[in-house]
């Protein structure tokens, strides 16, 4: 096993003047499961491919263990990749697919069979070893691709969105299996996905990347509870965090017709570039319906209601000058509304105006000029 280090790594594709990955510094600890997450085109697959040796590194270096592999051939790096599309040979059996890389490397047949059977046992593939890929389900094919990586006993696993081709139920089941398998094998793993739910449920740590620049690295709870900036706050969590910009008046945030108190030390951190404004964020579960007497609450006109049985969600627009934003609009984008989780047995009705109170200890405050965290 080995740790992986990206040391000031930059990748600029020919014809581009902007780096796809810009000055990346990242350490993956020995035996760690690190999930690299971000939207499409942010540079996460490029990062994985540089580690695999499939993309050139323009600046910086990559280390696996204490070995500099920056200019090393992929076959010499002792890594194994699991792709989104399985990449199985259709004319070979499951056993032959899993053992093919060992066969090419000249490993004795007895050793190949032993390793294949060990991996098949771990992955519940023993009954399928003599089948062809066309006779397997999507989940079974993905496990064969995992098996092919496992038999090689590499220093590092690289996984590029391996669950994308599976249906929703199978994806949940398979991500649990992959996380358990990685802990059992203890192999250093870099897992790339755009699905933040996968990242939160699978990774020992998560690295969030945007436009080629690393935004934050930490444990799932750390990124959820203390996002470093507006991008991470909005990206991590489902339903996503409510984020909106408001004027600051006498140490209070003006939310529609109402105001809520802000911590003095946060207000003091605002600069002239922030233009007397602040970005307020809160998660749907960190606010409640308030009574008319509650201070530090704001009015919300309910536009949509969801009763999920165990949870209830209301979606609404902040009331300003007695009117809600988008008043009179037939349809509105639910993503742009304020979302609050409420008791499903006490759901307001569509059209109601309710008062919302945010838990002050769970409020996330950011500077508009930098979008960085203030509290």
Nearest-5° angle of CA 236, CA 314, CA 233? 15
State residue 330's pLDDT score. 40
Query: Cα–Cα distances in Å, from 40 out to 142, 161, 193, 207, 209?
Result: 22, 11, 9, 15, 10
Which residues are CB-neighbours of 329 under 8 A, at least 6 positions away? Answer: none
State residue 335's pLDDT score. 63
Which residues are CB-neighbours of 241 under 8 A, at least 6 positions away? Answer: 227, 233, 234, 281, 282, 283, 364
Q: Of 15, 4, 22, which Cα lies nearest the Cα of 58?
A: 22
Residue that is written with structure tokens 């790339």 in the block: 192
Query: Cα–Cα distances in Å, from 21 out to 57, 217, 276, 282, 315?
Result: 10, 16, 34, 30, 37
Domains of the chain: 4-235 (3.40.50.300), 242-366 (2.40.50.140)
Nearest-5° angle of CA 63, CA 68, CA 71? 110
What is the β-pairing status of strands 252-255 and 258-261?
antiparallel
Helices 138-150/168-185 angle, 10° precision: 20
Q: Of 255, 323, 246, which Cα lies nearest the Cα of 287?
A: 255
CA distance 222 to 245: 23
Using DSSP's 3-state secondary structure scheme, residue 173 falls into helix
Cα end-to-end distance, the chain, whole Å: 39
CA distance 252 to 275: 14
| Per-residue tokens: 306 | 């969801």
State residue 329's pLDDT score. 43
| Per-residue tokens: 131 | 């089948």
CA distance 126 to 109: 18
CA distance 215 to 111: 44
**Contact call for residues 283 and 339 (beta carbons, < 8 A):** no
CA distance 60 to 24: 9
State residue 81's pLDDT score. 87
CA distance 218 to 34: 9
State residue 91's pLDDT score. 92
Averaged in consecutive runs of 10 residues, what is the pLDDT profile of the chain (375 residues)? 91 92 95 93 93 94 93 90 83 92 88 90 88 88 86 89 79 82 89 90 94 95 95 91 94 92 93 94 94 88 91 91 56 72 91 93 95 93
* Strand order, beta sheet including 205-210: 79-82, 156-160, 188-193, 33-37, 205-210, 213-218
| Per-residue tokens: 315 | 């979606």
Q: Residue 296's beta-bridge partner residues?
A: none
State residue 326's pLDDT score. 55
């Amino acid at each position: 096993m080995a740790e992986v280090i990206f040391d000031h790594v930059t990748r600029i594709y020919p014809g581009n003047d902007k780096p796809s990955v810009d000055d990346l510094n990242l350490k993956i600890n020995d035996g760690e499961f690190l999930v690299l997450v971000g939207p499409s085109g942010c540079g996460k697959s490029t990062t994985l491919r540089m580690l695999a040796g499939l993309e050139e590194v323009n600046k910086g270096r990559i280390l696996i263990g204490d070995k500099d592999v920056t200019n090393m051939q992929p076959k010499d790096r002792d890594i194994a990749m699991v792709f989104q599309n399985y990449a199985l040979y259709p004319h070979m059996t499951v056993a032959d697919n899993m053992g093919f890389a060992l066969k090419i490397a000249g490993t004795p047949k007895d050793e190949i069979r032993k390793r294949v059977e060990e991996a098949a046992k771990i992955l519940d593939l023993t009954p399928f070893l003599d089948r062809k890929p066309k006779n397997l389900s999507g989940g079974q094919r993905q496990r064969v691709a995992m098996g092919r990586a496992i038999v090689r006993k590499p220093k590092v696993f690289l996984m590029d969105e391996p669950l994308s081709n599976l249906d929703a139920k199978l994806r949940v089941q398979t991500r649990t299996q992959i996380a358990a398998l990685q802990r059992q094998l203890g192999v250093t793993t870099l897992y790339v996905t755009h699905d933040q739910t996968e990242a939160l449920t699978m990774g020992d740590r998560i690295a969030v990347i945007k436009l080629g620049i690393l935004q934050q690295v930490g444990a799932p709870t750390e990124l959820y509870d203390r996002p470093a900036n507006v991008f991470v706050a909005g990206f991590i969590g489902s339903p996503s965090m409510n984020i909106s910009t408001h004027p600051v008046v006498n140490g209070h945030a003006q939310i529609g017709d109402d105001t809520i108190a802000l911590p003095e030390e946060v207000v003091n951190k605002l600069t002239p570039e922030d233009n007397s404004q602040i970005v307020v964020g809160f998660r749907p579960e960190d606010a409640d319906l308030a009574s008319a007497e509650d201070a530090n609450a704001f009015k919300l006109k309910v536009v949509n209601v969801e009763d999920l049985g165990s949870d209830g969600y209301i979606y609404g627009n902040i009331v300003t000058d007695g009117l809600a934003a988008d008043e009179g609009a037939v349809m509105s984008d639910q993503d742009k509304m304020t979302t609050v989780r409420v008791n499903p047995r006490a759901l307001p009705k569509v059209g109601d105006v309710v008062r919302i109170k945010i838990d002050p200890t769970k409020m996330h405050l950011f500077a508009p000029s930098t979008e960085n965290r203030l509290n």
